[in-house]
């Protein structure tokens, strides 16, 4: 009798452990979306851009806060590259994606400057966290504008925000994806409006003779 009880307990324990392990799998979102090219007059400059491995593979992990929640992994890397490629191609006459970071003494294409974007922080909120039916994504970027030799020209930070209600979506993953897409679009709009207003960038544009009347206003 004792042996039968032990076997039952062991079976129940293994079953419970299996269910726990299955339930602990992370909820993963690989962000995908459409990023329209902005209708703006391009600056008469050739811009180099360097996407680091951290940027192209950017991924945000958030551990579950309670047993009824799941871990979240939000991968924005490919969507980041897609959005910034399209945005920068509209902002500048020519854009060259560098295969290696700018560095003194290294043979590189001729560009006026190199932009290096970084995702410094990403936070999200879902109904399980906020108790309201709104999904939200916050991102904080840091940008470096350097010469082809890696000498600094300007450095600045910028935030973006996106949210979407759950009413029009079928799943948490879709909601987080759309919130991230909205945050990326917001980042693009903020970058366009603030780029020439950053003092060091503005001075650089003036020195290049690229500060048009429209930008100056």
Q: What pLDDT, on a 0 to 100 scale, did the predictor assign at position 11?
A: 39
Contact 180, 162 (CB under 8 A): yes
Mean pLDDT rounded to a whole number for the chain? 82
Q: What pLDDT, on a 0 to 100 scale, did the predictor assign at position 141?
A: 98
pLDDT grade for 121, boundaries at 50, 70 and 90: very high
Q: What pLDDT, on a 0 to 100 scale, did the predictor assign at position 217?
A: 45
Q: What is the pTM of this model?
A: 0.80
Contact 72, 173 (CB under 8 A): no
pLDDT grade for 13, boundaries at 50, 70 and 90: very low
Q: What domains appear along the chain, each with residue ranges and CATH number?
A: 26-216 (3.40.50.10610)
């Amino acid at each position: 009798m004792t042996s039968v009880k032990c076997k039952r307990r062991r079976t129940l324990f293994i079953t419970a452990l299996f269910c726990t392990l299955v339930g602990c799998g992370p909820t993963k979102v690989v962000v995908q979306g459409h990023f329209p090219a902005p209708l703006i007059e391009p600056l008469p400059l050739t811009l180099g851009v360097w996407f680091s491995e951290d940027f192209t593979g950017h991924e945000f992990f958030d551990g579950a806060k309670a047993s009824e929640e799941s871990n979240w992994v939000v991968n924005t890397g490919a969507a980041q590259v897609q959005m910034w490629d399209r945005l920068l191609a509209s902002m500048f006459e020519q854009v060259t994606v560098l295969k290696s970071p700018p560095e003194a003494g290294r043979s590189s294409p001729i560009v006026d400057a190199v932009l290096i974007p970084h995702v410094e922080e990403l936070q999200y909120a879902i109904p399980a966290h906020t108790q309201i039916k709104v999904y939200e994504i916050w991102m904080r970027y840091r940008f470096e504008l350097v010469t082809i030799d890696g000498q600094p020209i300007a450095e600045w930070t910028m935030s973006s925000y996106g949210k979407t209600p759950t009413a029009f979506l079928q799943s948490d993953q879709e909601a987080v994806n759309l919130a991230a897409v909205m945050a990326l679009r917001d980042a693009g709009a903020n970058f366009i409006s603030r780029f020439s207003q950053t003092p060091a960038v503005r001075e650089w544009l003036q020195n290049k003779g690229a500060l048009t009347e429209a930008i100056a206003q």
